[in-house]
Chain A
Amino acid sequence: IALSSRNIFSVAHRYMSCRPMSSLSEEVLLVVKKVRQRKQDGTLYLMAERIAWGPEGKDRFTVSHLYADIRCQKISPDGKAKIQLQLVLHTGESTTFHFSNESSALKDRDAAKELLQQLLPKFKKKANKELEEKNRMLQEDPVLFQLYKDLVVSQVISADEFWANRLGDINNADPTSSNNKQEVGISGAFLADIRPQTDGCNGLRYNLTADIIESIFRTYPAVKEKYSENVPHNLTEKEFWTRFFQSHYFHRDRINTGTQDIFSECAKQDEKGLKSMVVQGVKNPLVDLLSLEDKTLDEGYGFCKTFPSTSNSNRTVKESSNSAIIKRFNHHSAMVLASLQFLTSSTDGNSRDSDFFQPPVKKVKLQEVIEYEDLQRENRPKTVALNLKKSDRYAHGPVPLQSQHYTTSQDIINSVNYIRHEMLNYKPNLTQVLSSTTASSAIAALSPGGVLMQAATQQAINQMVPTEVQGELKHLYAAAGELLRHFWSCFPVNTPFLEEKVMKMKSNLERFQMTKLCPFQEKIQRQYLSTNLTGHLEEMLQTAYRKFHIWQTRRMLRKT
C-alpha cells in the first residue's frame, strides 16, 4: 500500500447526545465572520455549551446546536476550492458551514476546528455515560421500557421530560459509581480499527478518533513523547499523524523506509524497552525457559537442530521481515497489557530486583502446581443445609421492617433483668383499660370471619378478566402513575417553569385519557366486562383535574 502525497485526513470525534438541562452562561469563545450557511452569509459563534450561527444583520440565531448533540465534525480536504466544516448531529442531520473569507478562510476554519476539538470531548464523556445509563435502565427494567414506549414513543411526553427526574434519582442513589468511573482497557486491535480506506482518487484516508489517539498514546509512550515534542511547534497535528502512518514505525514489516523518520527513534526506544523487559527476566520460575534445562549439552554434542541460524547475513529480507512482524506482535501485546498495569496495581509484593524475595514466589507456584484439590477433603467449615418442611412459610414469614440492631448477650441479660424488675413492680391501672364489651368486639372483628378479616374482593381480578386485558391494565396503570407523578410533583407551583409544566401535564393527562384510557374502556365494554376496572384510574385522574381546577381558579383570582 503506497501512501500518496495527498493524504486526506480527517480527525473525527464521536459523540452521543444528551442535552444538558439549561445553559445559563453564554460566554462566547470564538466569533467567525463571513461564514455561509445555506448560501446565506452570516457569523458563526462558538459558545460555552453550543455552537450557533446567525445570518448577517440579524441578532438571532437560525442555527444552534448544543455540543452534546454533535456527533462529529468533518472538514473538507485540503486543496478543495470550498473550505467547509460539517457538523454531524447525533440525529443524523448535518449542518455545513462554508468559510468564505477569502484571505483567512483556512485559518478561520482551523481555529473553529481546533476549538471544537477541545470542547467536544468535555461533553462527550457525560453524554456517553448518560446515554449508556439510560440504555441500561431501559434494558434492565421491562416496565420502564413499556412506559417509555407508551409515553415517549407515542409522544405523550417528550424524552427529556421522561428522563428528567429519573436520571436525577440514579445519580443521587449511586454517587460513588459516577465518581469512580471504571477505567477501561485498550482494545488489542485499535490499530486495526484505523484501517486505511482509499478515497477513490489515489489517496488513502485514515480515520482517527480521540479514542484511538488515546490508545496509541497509552500503548506507545514514545509516540506521545514525540507528539508533545513536535506538536504544535514543528508540525501540525495533521502532519504528525500523516508521518506516523507513513513511518516504518507503523508499518513495522517494512524494512527500507526513509531514514529521517522522526519515529525511528521511537522504534529504537521500543526495542530498548523490549530488551530491558527480556533482560529483567520472568518472575515465575515455571515459565522461565532459560532455566528449564538442567544441563545443556556442551557445544558440539547432540543431534544437530535445523533451526534457522540467527545471524542476519544469511537471512533473506522476507525472513527478517517475518520475524519483525512476530516481534512486533509480541511487543504490541505486551504494551497493551502494560497499559493496564496501573489499573491492576500489582500487589504480589515481589520486587523483581532482589533475589531475596525469589524463593517465596517459587514455593507458592510449586505448591500450586502439585496441588490436587479434588483429592483433598474440602477444608471449609461444614454448614448445615436448611431443611424446610414448608418453604412458603419461610419465604412469607414476618420480615423486620428495619435493619435489626443486634444486641450483645450482656445487653440481653440486662434487659431481661430490667423486665423482671419491672414485672415485680407492675401494678395494673384498672381505670384506663377497655370495657369488656369493646374489647370482645375488637377481638371478634379481628378473628377469622370478623369484619376486619373479611376477604374483601378475594374473587380476584385475575380470575375475572382475560390476561391480555390485565396486561393492558397494568400498562395503563404504570403510564398513568408516571404521568400523575409528574403532575403532582409540580405542586406547589411556585416558579413560572413549574406553572408551564403543570399546564402541560394537565393536557398530557387529558390526552392520555382520550387516547389510551377511553379506547380501553370501550374495549372492555364490548367484551361485557365489569366497567369497574378503570374506576380507580378515572378517580385518580379526576382528583388531579380537581386539583388543577382549584389551582387555576386560585391563580385567576390572584391575577384579577
Chain B
Amino acid sequence: MKLNIEGLLVYFPYDYIYPEQYSYMLELKRTLDAKGHGVLEMPSGTGKTISLLSLIVAYQKAFPLEVTKLIYCSRTVPEIEKVVEELRKLMEFYSKQTGESNNFLALALSSRKNLCIHPEVSALRFGKEVDGKCHSLTASYIRAQRHSTPDVPVCRFYEEFDAVGRQVPLPAGIYNLDDLKDFGRRKGWCPYYLARYSILHANIVVYSYHYLLDPKIADLVSKELAKNSVVVFDEAHNIDNVCIDSMSVNITRRTLDRCHTNVDTLQNTIQKIKETDAAKLKMEYRRLVEGLKEANVARETDVYLANPVLPDEILKEAVPGNIRTAEHFVGFLKRFLEYLKSRLRVQHVVQESAPQFLKDIFDKVCIDRKPLRFCAERLQSLLRTLEIADIADFSAVTLISNFATLVSTYSQGFTIIIEPFEDRTPTIANPVLHFSCMDPSIAIKPVFQRFQSVIITSGTLSPLDIYPRILDFRPVTMASFTMTLARTCLCPLIVGRGNDQVALSSKFETREDFAVIRNYGNLLLEMSAIVPDGIVAFFTSYVYMENIVASWYEQGILENIQRNKLIFIETPDAAETSMALEKYQEACENGRGAILLSVARGKVSEGIDFVHHFGRAVIMFGVPYVYTQSRILKARLEYLRDQFQIRENDFLTFDAMRHAAQCVGRAIRGKTDYGLMIFADKRYARADKRGKLPRWIQEHINDGSLNLTVDEAVQLSKHFLRQMAQPFRQEDQLGLSLLTLEQLESEEMLQKIAKIAHQT
C-alpha cells in the first residue's frame, strides 16, 4: 500500500499495516526531519525492520541529497541476512508499483569467513584463520613479490577484482551475502573486497555493529562513509556492552610470552632488512618525520570517521623521535613488555587509574606518555614497512601497542585491574591485567558526531532514558510503542511462591536451598504437562543451571519431566548447543514436545527466536543479575555513579531486567504467535523491577498475575492456552490491530494511533 506519512509518500510492501508501524514511521520521519538521533522501542514481531526500511528508503528517494546512505547495523549474521531479504521485498514492491527498474544499490557486508570464495581459504573453519590466510595471499608486498618471483601464491579472485573490479561500480540491485558470492563467482572477483569497495557508493549498507563501533575495524572499513548517512542500530539493547568490549583489553602471561616472540621476530626482520634494503627503513623514517599530516587533513575536512584509538591531538604532531627508528621502537617495546611482566608478578589484586599507571611506568622504566600514545600507529607503520605476511601472528604485539595508546590517551573512563588468580581457584596463579573501558560513550562518540541521524531501536530498550545517559548523546525523539492486540497473546505471570508457600527466588542466600530448587523443578514439571510443544527455560547463570540440573536429577524431577517432553540443555560449547537447538526444534516439529534449558546472557538468549510452537512458554528462573562480585563490574558501577549519577542498584536492576525481557521476548515473534512468560522469582512482583520491563509486557501484568503459587500459575496458564488454541483469523484482527488503507485514514484511527507512541 502507499502511505502518506506527513507528506512523504511511503511504499509499504503489504496489503495491511499494523497501527504501531504507522506510528513508528511517523516518529522516525520526525527524527530524520530534525536531523537528530532517536531512541525507539517497539516490540519484536510488529514489523519494525520493514517499517524502518520503508520509511528511510522513501526518504532517500524523496530527498536524495539530504540522506545519501542508510547504514543498517544488526548483531548477528542471520539478522543481517533477514534485513536484506526484507529490503529485497520492498524493492520488488517498488518496481512493481512504479514500473521502473530499481536503481538502488544495497548490500550486506560480513567478515571474510562468510564471503570468501577461494576454495582453500573458505574451507577454513575459524574467522581468524580465514582472515590470516587471506591476508597472506592479498597483502600488497606479497603481490609485489609476485612480479619478481611468479610462483608466489596469490588469490586469483583478488587479482581479478584489483585489475578490473574497481572500474565499473557494482550494478544496482540487492545483494545478500550469497548474492555477492554468486556475483563474485560469475565475474571471478573477490566478493569481500568487492563489498568493501562498494559500500562507499551503495545506497544501503547492512553490516554488523563492529564495523562501526570497533575502532580497529571501523578504521579499515567505515571511515569514508558519507556524513549525511542515517545509521540504524537494530537490536540495540546491548549496545553499551558492544562499545565497552571493543575498547577493553586483557593481558595474560600468555599474551606477553607471545608478544615477546613477536618482538624478537621484529628485531630479526629489521636486522635482515637493514643488511639488504636499508633504504626502505630510511624512507619510513622520513615519512614519520612528516607525521600523520595526511590523516589530520582528512579528518579536518570531515572525510573520515574519527578513530577513538587515534586521538585528534596526535595527528597534529610527528611521531616522537625516540621511537622513530625501527630499532629504537623495538627497544621501546621491549622495555614496555618487561614492565608489564613485572606488573603481572603480583600477589594481591591491584586496581589503579590510567594516570596512576602512567606515573608508575615513568618512575620505574622512564617511559613517557607521549611515545606510548603513538605506539599503535608506529607499530602499524613498522609492520607495513617490514612486509609482514601474517598479521594474525602479530596479534599479541598489536594488542599491547593498542593498550599502550589507549592507556596514555584516556585519563578517564578506563580502569586497570590486575588480578593474580581467578576468584574460583585461588591456588592457581593466573595473573591477568584487565584494562577495561567503563564508558561506552567513548567508542560510539565518533558515530554520533559524524552521522546526521543515528537511530537506536530494539524490542526491549526500557527504561528508555538510560541509553542517552550512558551513551552520552541527546536524542530528538524517544518513544516506546505498544503492541496493539486483537487478543491478548502474551501472558506474563509472576510466580513468587511454591505450593508449600516457600518464597521462590534465585537470590544468593537461598541459592542452595533445596526447597527453592524443588519448587522450581515442580514448576517446570507442571508446565511441561500442560504446555504444548516447546518450552524454553532460562537460568541466571551457567553455574546456577548446572547445580539445579544436578539436584533435579538427584531428586528424580527430570525423569518425571521426561515423561512429558524431551530435555535439551545449553552447554558452554557452541557447536554442541547448536545441535541441541536443532534437535529441540525437530522435537517440537514432530510433536514430541521439548524443553530447552538455557542461560540468560548466553548465545541462545541473545540470538535465537522461538517462534510459534518452538516456544509456547518461557520460564525465567530467577532475576538474571550480572555477577556482582566482579571487580570490573564494581569499577564500572562506581564510574556510572560518579559520572552519570546512575545509582548502582538502578543500573544492576536495569541490566537484569533488560536481559530478562530479552529472554521472555524470545517467545513472542508476532501477533499470530502466542506464549506464556513466566517470571519465577518473587522479586519480579516489586514495582522497581516490574517497572523496568518494556511497556508492551508491563501492560499485561495485572494484580492478578503477581506473586502466584505454582498451582495458581498452572490454572491461569491452562485457561490462557485454551483460549489461544481457538482459531485466530485475519478478520479478527482487522480494524483493531491490523488496518487496511481506508481504516488507517479514518480520523478516529489516526487519533488512536497518536496514543500508541509513548513519548518520554
Contacts and interface: CB of A to CB of B under 8 A. Distances in A.
Contacts of B249: 300-301
Given A278-B576, A375-B14, A375-B17, A283 B546 contact: no
Contacts of A184: none
Nearest to B550: A322
A289 B207 contact: no
Contacts of A222: none
Contacts of A281: 575, 578-579
A296 B127 contact: yes
A298 B574 contact: no
Contact of B543 (A278, A291, A303, A308): A308
Contacts of B208: 294-295
A369 B608 CA distance: 12
Given A304-B434, A322-B546, A370 B89 contact: yes
A302 B245 contact: yes
Interface in B134-154: none
A344 interface: yes
Interface string A361-404: 01100110110111111100000000000000000000000000
B250 A374 contact: no
Interface in A516-554: none
B171 interface: no
Interface string B96-111: 0000000000000011
A192 B399 contact: no
A321 B47 contact: no
B85 interface: yes
A296 B15 CA distance: 40
B117 to A, nearest CB: 11
A375 B18 contact: yes
A279 B578 CA distance: 11
Interface in B416-457: 422, 424-425, 428, 432, 434, 436
A189 B546 contact: no
Interface string A287-313: 111111111111111111011111000
B617 interface: no
Interface in B537-570: 542-543, 546-547, 549-550, 553, 556, 558-560, 562-569
Contacts of B586: 337
A330 B580 contact: yes
Contacts of A344: 590
Interface string A186-198: 0111011001000
Contacts of B568: 329-330, 333
Contacts of B114: 291, 294
Given A294-B208, A298-B395, A192 B560 contact: yes
A359 interface: yes
Contacts of A304: 248, 250, 432, 434, 436, 632
Interface in B690-745: 730, 733, 738
Q: What range describes how many residues of A lie at the interface? A: 35 or more
B78 interface: yes
A474 interface: no
B245 A301 contact: yes
B632 A188 contact: no
A274 B85 CA distance: 34
Nearest to A295: B210
A226 interface: no
Q: What range describes how many residues of B lie at the interface? A: 35 or more
A300 B401 CA distance: 12
A192 B214 contact: no
A221 to B, nearest CB: 17
Contacts of B89: 370
Contacts of B559: 189, 191-192, 195
B670 interface: yes
Given A192-B560, A337-B592, A289 B578 contact: yes
A409 B65 CA distance: 66
A199 interface: no
A298 B251 CA distance: 12
A314 B546 contact: no
Would you list the 10 A-B pairs with minimal beta carbon distance, nearest first? A192-B559, A294-B208, A189-B562, A375-B14, A333-B566, A189-B563, A188-B562, A377-B15, A302-B245, A282-B582
23 contacts: A188-B566, A192-B559, A192-B562, A285-B78, A289-B575, A289-B603, A290-B578, A292-B603, A294-B76, A294-B114, A295-B127, A302-B246, A302-B248, A306-B627, A322-B546, A323-B571, A330-B583, A333-B587, A369-B609, A369-B611, A374-B16, A375-B17, A375-B47
